[in-house]
């Protein structure tokens, strides 16, 4: 049996150890590890969760990559048409990693009621539209079902519905201005069949989803043959830039491609700051936990100075005695990690399923703190914390080499 491990285990299991002078300091060290682990787990889970949630909401309204004519990439309204008769539509087979492509169009409109009005962007979609994201956002009614025939069904946001006091089944008069402002605007009556709430107020107050054929008719495009732009969804977000470059190389020269990160640069720059915050929190927590463990180790050494002297007198090496105390410290770190994981995972699961901590959607674009749970980052966090704490304890353990056996045995 390993002598150092055996000795460390006997020290840990002894009753004197648990009622010694160092016991309160040891408990503080364990608590520091546990609290640090809880804070780090929450920082990573909510930070990554918030990044992914905001990203998914932006993607829901715009796709991962947009294919449009040059010059109108930043326009909220379709400026000219693109034929659906493209080699890359309805399936982008030449580029690997493309999950879905859809043709859409957008047009400014005004919803008018008897007492109020609201400016919106009507997003026209067809049978190829990817409804997966909006299924999650749906809070009332159902998603529209568009076929080859005209449909007046429309999906509006809860924000617009509350502003205009609208309910499911109501008919809304939507006004579209003509190029010649002297002419009367065109009016399309839409029937509300569904209400969504993405929590991203910047988009919720802007977009309503309708049948693209109405916008094709208003713009004098060929029905079912022309769209404003294409939205592309990718299977792996990490490959977004590479896929965007490949798509650009495989589309006609008059078309441009832009990623969602490029179009909404300010939003993605903001959420990328979360990474720096996470790294900062991890660094601070590990430092605090390490300092507490150093204190606990020094107290343990001081408390067992006589034992160190006796072991040296019996022929134990400095390295062997240091191993005893490092084994002891590793036990305390593991104990702290255990309780930290238990408490941290409990808090995160409670937030994930019971939404205990709400957020202001005007600031964070979500209504509650989202949680991202991954076995991979938890294992990495535990291993990294353990290694960093042990490395911080190596230098303080050198104090054992300075202890004289004669003086240590006489120490009281």
The residue that leads in pLDDT, 304 or 110, is: 110
Instruction: Give the pairing of strands 226-227 and 82-83.
Output: antiparallel
Confidence of residue 370 (pLDDT cuts 50, 70, 90): very high
SS3 state at 65: strand
Tell me which of 107-116, 230-239, 303-312 is least confident: 303-312
For residue 390, is it within any domain?
yes
The residue that leads in pLDDT, 305 or 386, is: 386
Polymer length of the chain: 412
Tell me which of 10-14, 118-122, 212-216, 269-273 is least confident: 10-14
User: Which pair of structure tokens corresponds to residue 285?
Assistant: 């927590």
- Tens-digit pLDDT profile for residues 23-36: 888 889 899 999 99
* Average pLDDT over every residue of 309-318: 88
Give me the percent of the chain exceeding a pLDDT of 70. 95
For residue 66, is it within any domain?
no
Confidence of residue 101 (pLDDT cuts 50, 70, 90): very high
The residue that leads in pLDDT, 388 or 306, is: 388
Same-domain check for residues 88 and 215: yes
> What values do phi and psi take at 372, rounded to 5?
-110, 120
Residue labelled with tokens 């208003």: 218
Instruction: Give the pairing of strands 138-141 and 207-211.
Output: unpaired
Kindly tell me the sign of the dihedral angle through the C-alpha atoms of 307, 313, 314, 317: positive
Same-domain check for residues 124 and 218: yes
Same-domain check for residues 76 and 14: no
CA atoms of 367 and 390, how far apart (whole Å)? 40
> Crossing angle, helix 318-354 and helix 265-303, to 10 degrees?
140
- Tens-digit pLDDT profile for residues 276-289: 999 999 999 999 99
Domain count, the chain: 2
Closest CA to 334 of 324, 322, 326: 326
- Tens-digit pLDDT profile for residues 202-223: 899 999 999 999 999 999 999 9
User: Which pair of structure tokens corresponds to residue 365?
Assistant: 């674009």
Instruction: Give the pairing of strands 186-196 and 229-234.
Output: unpaired
Confidence of residue 1 (pLDDT cuts 50, 70, 90): low
How does DSSP classify residue 129?
-
Closest CA to 153 of 130, 134, 176, 169: 169
Same-domain check for residues 249 and 284: no
Same-domain check for residues 243 and 390: no
pLDDT at residue 285 in the model: 94
**Which of 199, 222, 253 finishes a domain?**
253
pLDDT at residue 21 in the model: 67
Same-domain check for residues 277 and 398: yes
Give me the percent of the chain exceeding a pLDDT of 90. 73
pLDDT at residue 412 in the model: 54
CB-neighbour burial class of residue 333 (10 A; exposed 0-12, middle 13-18, buried 19+)? buried
Closest CA to 289 of 400, 397, 382, 399: 382
CA geometry: angle at 17 spanning 8 and 292, to 5°? 80
CA atoms of 134 and 155, how far apart (whole Å)? 10
- Tens-digit pLDDT profile for residues 180-204: 777 889 999 999 999 999 989 889 9
pLDDT at residue 76 in the model: 81
DSSP strand E in 129-170: where?
138-141, 153-157
- Cβ atoms of 256 and 247 within 8 Å: the answer is no
For residue 258, is it within any domain?
no
CA atoms of 160 and 156, how far apart (whole Å)? 7
- Tens-digit pLDDT profile for residues 139-159: 999 999 999 899 999 999 999
Tell me which of 65-74, 124-133, 227-236 is least confident: 65-74
pLDDT at residue 74 in the model: 57
CA atoms of 311 and 317, how far apart (whole Å)? 8
The residue that leads in pLDDT, 205 or 178, is: 205
* Average pLDDT over every residue of 284-307: 90
Q: Is the pLDDT of residue 359 over 90?
A: no
pLDDT at residue 19 in the model: 63
For residue 260, is it within any domain?
no
Same-domain check for residues 77 and 108: yes
CA geometry: angle at 290 spanning 287 and 292, to 5°? 110
* Average pLDDT over every residue of 245-263: 94
Hey, which residues does 107 pair with through a beta bridge? 122
Same-domain check for residues 160 and 275: no
CA 177 centroid distance within chain: 40
User: Which pair of structure tokens corresponds to residue 140?
Assistant: 């009332």
User: Which pair of structure tokens corresponds to residue 182?
Assistant: 């002297």
For residue 64, is it within any domain?
no
Residue 187 belongs to domain spanning = 71-253
For residue 116, is it within any domain?
yes
Q: Is the pLDDT of residue 408 over 90?
A: no
For residue 199, is it within any domain?
yes
Q: Could you please report the per-residue DSSP string of 273-296?
A: HHHHHHHHHHHHHHHHHHHHHHHH
Same-domain check for residues 205 and 163: yes
Same-domain check for residues 240 and 288: no
For residue 394, is it within any domain?
yes
Confidence of residue 368 (pLDDT cuts 50, 70, 90): confident
Mean residue pLDDT of the chain comes to: 91
Same-domain check for residues 239 and 303: no
**Which of 200, 223, 253 finishes a domain?**
253
pLDDT at residue 305 in the model: 85
Same-domain check for residues 40 and 175: no
pLDDT at residue 3 in the model: 83
């Amino acid at each position: 049996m390993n002598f150092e491990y055996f000795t460390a285990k006997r020290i840990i299991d002894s009753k004197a150890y648990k009622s010694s002078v160092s016991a309160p300091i040891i408990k503080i060290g364990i608590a520091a590890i546990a609290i640090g682990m809880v804070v780090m787990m929450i920082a990573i889970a909510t930070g990554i969760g918030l990044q992914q949630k905001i990203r998914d909401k932006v993607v829901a309204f715009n796709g991962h990559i947009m294919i449009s004519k040059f010059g109108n990439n930043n326009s909220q309204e379709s400026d000219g048409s693109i034929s659906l008769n493209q080699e890359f539509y309805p399936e982008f087979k030449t580029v690997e990693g493309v999950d879905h492509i859809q043709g859409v169009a957008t047009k400014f409109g005004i919803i008018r009621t008897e007492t109020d009005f609201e400016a919106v962007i009507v997003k026209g979609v067809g049978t190829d539209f990817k409804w997966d994201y909006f299924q999650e956002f749906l809070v009332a009614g159902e998603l529209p079902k568009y076929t080859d025939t005209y449909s007046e069904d429309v999906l509006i946001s809860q924000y617009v519905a509350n502003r205009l006091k609208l309910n499911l089944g109501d008919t809304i008069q939507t006004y579209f201005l003509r190029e010649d402002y002297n002419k009367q605007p065109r009016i399309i009556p839409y029937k509300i069949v569904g209400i969504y709430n993405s929590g991203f107020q910047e988009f919720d107050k802007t977009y309503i989803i309708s049948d693209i054929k109405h916008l094709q008719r208003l713009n004098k495009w060929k029905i079912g043959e022309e769209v404003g732009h294409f939205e592309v969804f990718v299977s792996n977000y990490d490959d977004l830039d590479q896929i965007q470059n490949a798509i650009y190389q495989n589309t006609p020269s008059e078309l441009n491609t832009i990623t969602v990160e490029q179009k909404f640069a300010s939003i993605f720059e903001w959420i990328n700051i979360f990474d720096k915050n996470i790294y900062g929190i991890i660094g601070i927590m590990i430092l605090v936990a390490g300092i507490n463990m150093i204190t606990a180790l020094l107290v343990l050494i001081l408390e067992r100075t006589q034992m160190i002297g006796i072991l040296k007198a019996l022929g134990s090496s400095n390295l062997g005695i240091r191993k005893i105390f490092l084994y002891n410290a590793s036990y305390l770190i593991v104990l702290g990690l255990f309780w930290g994981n238990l408490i941290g995972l409990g808090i995160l699961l409670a937030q994930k399923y019971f939404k205990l901590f709400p957020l202001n959607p005007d600031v964070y674009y979500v209504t509650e703190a989202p949680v991202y749970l991954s076995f991979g980052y938890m294992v990495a966090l535990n291993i990294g914390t353990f290694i960093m704490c042990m490395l911080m304890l190596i230098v303080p353990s050198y104090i054992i080499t300075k202890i004289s056996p004669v003086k240590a045995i006489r120490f009281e």
